[in-house]
Structure 1
Amino acid sequence: MSVEGWNTVLVLGGIRSGKSEFAESLVADAPTVRYVATSAAADPDDTEWATRLAAHRARRPGSWTTEETADDPRRLADVLASAGPNETLLVDDLGGWVTVLLDPAHQPADDVATITELADAVRASEARIVLVSPEVGLSLVPTTPLGRAFADALGAANRAVADACDAVALVVAGQPAWLKPSAPLPPVDVPTRAAPADGTDGAVPAAAATVPADGPLPEVLTPTVPPAPRTPAGTTWTTPTMALPVVATGLVIQPGMELPMPDEYAGPQAVQRLGTLDLPRAGLGVLERVVEFAAATQGTPTPTPWTDVRVLLLHGDHTGGVAAGAPVGESTRLARQARAGRGALARLAAENGAGLQVVDAPPAAPIEHGPALDADTVESALRYGWRLAEEAAEAGVRLLVLGACGAGAEAAAAAVLVATAGAEAPTVLGRVHTADGEIDDAAWMVRCATVRDALHRTRRSPRDAKDILAELGGGDVAVACGVLLGATARRVPVLLDGPVGLAAGMVARDLAGQARHWCLLVDHGGHPAVRLAADVLGLTPLLDLRLDLGEGANALAALPLLRSVLALAGSLPAHPQHGGPDDDGDSDLPADAAATVPDAEPETAAPVAAGDGAGQPDVTPEFAEPTPAGPGPTTTAPADAGPEPDPSGRRAG
């Protein structure tokens, strides 16, 4: 229903101008519409007016519902204020509402206060609303006091509601003319871009709008702490299935690609092996999934800790309403800080011996007014991300960590999730915080409205993976999607961290379903978009620490724990019952030693009778009971002097 991104509309027009038909056309695409009728019941003797009302009703689709507010004009404000964000309301019209408002039966009433309440309800409502009203400012001044009172009240109502609405249209002879806005404009007080911290205007050159698929890759920074040694000799890594560079082979990234899957046997075997290790009680708990994931992606039941790790920090700003509340220049500062080896991400990368690669992604246009990227830029961004993963695999990287720091990136990722998972924008958009740590609800509402407008703008667009990246995702999500696909092709696992990586996972799922099996989510961070995407992709977060250090830094903070788990799983010996050394450090027991206990004397244990006692042969058990330490029988055999067993098999009472 939105008109150029605006969602509350006042439609003005004269008598028989076609204003009602035009208003109905604005909501024609809505699945359900609540039609709010404001006029009082007509005089039974006025057949002409009854015919007009019947024509109005006949135009309404069967899916519409009708609600009348003529009995109490104040109730219209309550109806608008209580409507939900997924509702569409058509109010027809304010002329009938003012007529009831001036009716002596509803007096005494403060007309000005009631009109103010209506305007406030329109301004605060979360629903999509179209209001119809007669334009009385172009007519002659009425000659009667009641006529002048009606014109004054309706003119005041039109002005108040027009000020509260996002858009106003005037219909003349069936032709609409937009009075507000005269042209599509971005919302006021919303940063259209994040300016660099160096004081420049931040203008993006035309060449920066696309990522060259065959251009140079960003520099891989070396942390201050020396990286850990490479994989120990003897560890077998599965050979990549796509060893040739994607650009050289001319591979087309498209839906239905057949990429490798992790080893389906190594993961369960690794978990089974954990049950034989010398671990107390529940052992690793839910972190067994780390061992299973590492075993499957490394192709061995005895995985080793990830020693060669690289962090990819995607820096791509989004303009328009999705960046509402984002400090100007903050994302550029974070990217520059990471390049200089400062900040939380660089420090954690150094502590983990991980490489850090800051990747500049194409900036995205406002999604409420048009596509974020063009099709060629999406294709280049996908191939660019694939090349980043390929280069990492060629350099010996065994684990990628994906993060992002662009302005508006979270809201753009939420838009992708709304489009791919069918959610509502308010349920997946996290709270917006100011630089002082305070919650900015106004910016959050702007982001919600922007995502809602973008989804409505693309309601008839295809929902293919590349279309979603072009319309809603932007450069960082597109590059991240290419990274996931390239890492899958080269059998490199990826730690996801934050909405951008999860949104890329949702899109990559439609291009190659195998990609999600190479992804691991450490912590959801309390972000609703991450929770939703993880549930759809089947990625259960390992931890619930609610870390909020920034995308990429959260995963790095938990990486030492994951490495410790893999080190334990690979270095601990088997339990003595499963052939491991005993407490004295003796050599491993024979494979069948666990079936007996040294103190037991199998030769003194009499066989246990089996069968029903009717001539069935005795069966010697495969084990022997140990000698009890305290009082009690020393054998499981029946007493020699005892009575003969009852042939019927019943015990004596």
Structure 2
Amino acid sequence: MATDTRVAWQTPEITPVPAAQEDALRAMIDGKAKPLGSLGQIEVLAVQLGLMRHPEPPRAENAVLMVFAGDHGLTEEGVSQFPSAVTVAMVMTYLAGKACANAFAAATHMDVRVIDAGVAADLPKHPDLIDAKVRKGTANAARQPAMTLEDAALALSRGMELAVAEIHHGADVIALGEMGIGNTSAASLIVHRLAPAPLDQSIGIGAGQDAEGMSKKRAAIEKAAARSAATAPLDVLAEFGGFEIAMMAGAVLGAASRRRPVIVDGFIATAAALVAVRLCPAARDYCVFAHRSAERGHDLALQAMQATPLLDLQLRLGEGTGAILAVPLLRAAARLVTDVASLDDVLQGRL
């Protein structure tokens, strides 16, 4: 358990998966009623899920999407073609049940939680909105730290608490989603420092940028990177991150502390997972990477964590849409462990 003595922040106790059980789990799956290795990556996923919950059987039926929303002061530099007001509009769209994430979640029988991590507005009260706001958006990271170390620690703690609460109420799987105009820029800076990766290769088009927009975006991100040489994970999060990114990182740590899988969505969620893993390497065992995003820089973040994503659908929306689409694969992998007969039982007629 790591402690940062500058702030009241302590990573939770996270138990690494029992690697000594891996061979036994693989042998059990190899002995199922199927040709050896015929389910490919699903078998790899089944082993991962089995190790997380050992000696209990894996479960993935009750999956919850947590959509964290926050605004970024870096938008003052023109990093996005959309104003911060779009963050508010999209939060209200989630609450109305009309966003892509809502539609996909309904198709996969998932609950959706919408969390105000740091939206730059006073949101109206809503029974489905969780108010965890740290501040009304971050500061402009091109000119000053995006947040204080204390605020970064608070956002991490709130994300952990929210994920643990969902697990306490029966969630088998936590899926991460986000909304925040400007957050691909923050994610690029985090990946640049924590992967580490070349800055230029970490910058993509985000929600859609033309050539002029990309020029402004690169200039702003380069200005932010030049302002601070931070490389320690908590420092990088405070210098460049967003409250929604910090809370997603906390959710990763919270899920891992309770030995539950957390499905990491695309580029921004992966940047958050990178923060969590750099803070506590054992959290990596509990991360399932949903898909390979079309956003430039995502491959670099995945490589930094030696992650093989389950899907490659050229998604770059965010919201947790890719994480939702991966949920049926986790359910299938868990049921491969628990529901499929062994080949010996089939051959001996013991069904």
Fold similarity call, TM over 0.5: yes
2:346 pairs, out of 555, 577, 581, with 581
TM-score normalized by structure 1?
A: 0.47
Q: Quick check: 2:266–2:290 contact (8 Å CA) kept in 1?
A: no
Tell me what 1:391 maps to: 165
CA positional deviation for 1:464: 2.3
Tell me what 1:647 maps to: none
Tell me what 1:377 maps to: 151
- CA 302–357 in structure 1, closer or farther in 2 if over 3 Å, else same: closer
Tell me what 1:307 maps to: 61
CA positional deviation for 1:432: 4.4
Q: Quick check: 2:37–2:43 contact (8 Å CA) kept in 1?
A: no
- Code of the aligned partner of 1:542: L
- Is 1:469 aligned with 2:237? yes
1:566 pairs, out of 317, 334, 339, with 334
CA positional deviation for 1:384: 0.9
Q: Quick check: 1:382–1:478 contact (8 Å CA) kept in 2?
A: yes
Q: Deviations over 1:83-111 (max 9, x none)?
A: xxxxxxxxxxxxxxxxxxxxxxxxxxxxx
Tell me what 1:355 maps to: 111
1:227-246 correspondence runs (5 A): none
1:455-466 correspondence runs (5 A): 455-459=225-229, 462-466=230-234
Tell me what 2:199 maps to: 425
Q: Quick check: 1:399–1:495 contact (8 Å CA) kept in 2?
A: yes
- Is 1:317 aligned with 2:71? yes
Q: Quick check: 1:403–1:497 contact (8 Å CA) kept in 2?
A: yes
Q: Quick check: 2:185–2:221 contact (8 Å CA) kept in 1?
A: yes
TM-score normalized by structure 2?
A: 0.85
CA positional deviation for 1:295: 0.3
Sequence identity, in percent? 26
1:22-101 correspondence runs (5 A): none
Q: Quick check: 1:267–1:291 contact (8 Å CA) kept in 2?
A: no
- Code of the aligned partner of 2:271: A
Report the Cα distance in structure 2 between the residues aligned to 1:268 and 1:441, rounded to whole angstroms: 51
2:99 pairs, out of 340, 343, 356, with 343
Tell me what 1:496 maps to: 264
Tell me what 1:454 maps to: 224
Tell me what 1:192 maps to: none
Tell me what 1:515 maps to: 283
Moved more, 321-330 or 489-498: 321-330
- Is 1:278 aligned with 2:43? no
Q: Deviations over 1:240-263 (max 9, x none)?
A: xxxxxxxxxxx95346x6421123
- Is 1:551 aligned with 2:338? no
CA positional deviation for 1:345: 0.6
CA positional deviation for 1:422: 3.2
CA positional deviation for 1:307: 1.2
- Code of the aligned partner of 1:564: A
Report the Cα distance in structure 2 between the residues aligned to 1:280 and 1:422, rounded to whole angstroms: 40
Report the Cα distance in structure 2 between the residues aligned to 1:347 and 1:511, rounded to whole angstroms: 34
- CA 505–433 in structure 1, closer or farther in 2 if over 3 Å, else same: closer
- Code of the aligned partner of 1:487: A
CA positional deviation for 1:281: 5.7
Q: Deviations over 1:449-484 (max 9, x none)?
A: 11111111103xx43222211110121121112112
Q: Quick check: 2:42–2:333 contact (8 Å CA) kept in 1?
A: yes
Helix, strand or coil: the match of 2:299?
helix
Tell me what 1:46 maps to: none
Helix, strand or coil: the match of 1:528?
coil
- CA 492–253 in structure 1, closer or farther in 2 if over 3 Å, else same: farther
Question: Which consecutive residues of structure 1, in runs of 5 or more, have no partner in the other structure?
Answer: 1-250, 589-653
Q: Deviations over 1:111-170 (max 9, x none)?
A: xxxxxxxxxxxxxxxxxxxxxxxxxxxxxxxxxxxxxxxxxxxxxxxxxxxxxxxxxxxx
- Code of the aligned partner of 1:269: A
Helix, strand or coil: the match of 1:403?
strand
CA positional deviation for 1:500: 2.3
CA positional deviation for 1:302: 4.9
Q: Quick check: 1:313–1:405 contact (8 Å CA) kept in 2?
A: yes
Q: Deviations over 1:539-580 (max 9, x none)?
A: 2112222233433111112322332233234322222xxx22
Q: Quick check: 2:207–2:317 contact (8 Å CA) kept in 1?
A: no
- Is 1:364 aligned with 2:138? yes
Question: Which consecutive residues of structure 2, in runs of 5 or more, have no partner in the other structure?
Answer: 1-6, 119-136
Tell me what 2:17 maps to: 262
Q: Quick check: 1:334–1:405 contact (8 Å CA) kept in 2?
A: yes
Report the Cα distance in structure 1 between the residues aligned to 2:54 and 2:288, rounded to whole angstroms: 16
Helix, strand or coil: the match of 1:286?
helix
Total equivalences in the alignment: 325
- CA 432–404 in structure 1, closer or farther in 2 if over 3 Å, else same: closer
Q: Quick check: 1:420–1:506 contact (8 Å CA) kept in 2?
A: yes
Report the Cα distance in structure 1 between the residues aligned to 2:338 and 2:13, rounded to whole angstroms: 32
Q: Deviations over 1:62-100 (max 9, x none)?
A: xxxxxxxxxxxxxxxxxxxxxxxxxxxxxxxxxxxxxxx
Report the Cα distance in structure 2 between the residues aligned to 1:267 and 1:341, rounded to whole angstroms: 41
RMSD: 2.3
Q: Quick check: 2:42–2:329 contact (8 Å CA) kept in 1?
A: no
1:597-616 correspondence runs (5 A): none
Report the Cα distance in structure 1 between the residues aligned to 2:312 and 2:83, rounded to whole angstroms: 28
- Code of the aligned partner of 2:223: D
CA positional deviation for 1:328: 5.2
Report the Cα distance in structure 2 between the residues aligned to 1:490 and 1:301, rounded to whole angstroms: 13
- Code of the aligned partner of 1:379: A
Q: Deviations over 1:39-71 (max 9, x none)?
A: xxxxxxxxxxxxxxxxxxxxxxxxxxxxxxxxx
1:534 pairs, out of 286, 289, 302, with 302
* Greater relative contact order (CA < 8 Å, ≥ 6 in sequence): 2
- Code of the aligned partner of 2:257: A
Tell me what 2:46 maps to: 291
Tell me what 1:405 maps to: 179
Tell me what 2:123 maps to: none
Report the Cα distance in structure 2 between the residues aligned to 1:433 and 1:507, rounded to whole angstroms: 22
Report the Cα distance in structure 2 between the residues aligned to 1:335 and 1:493, rounded to whole angstroms: 25
CA positional deviation for 1:327: 5.0
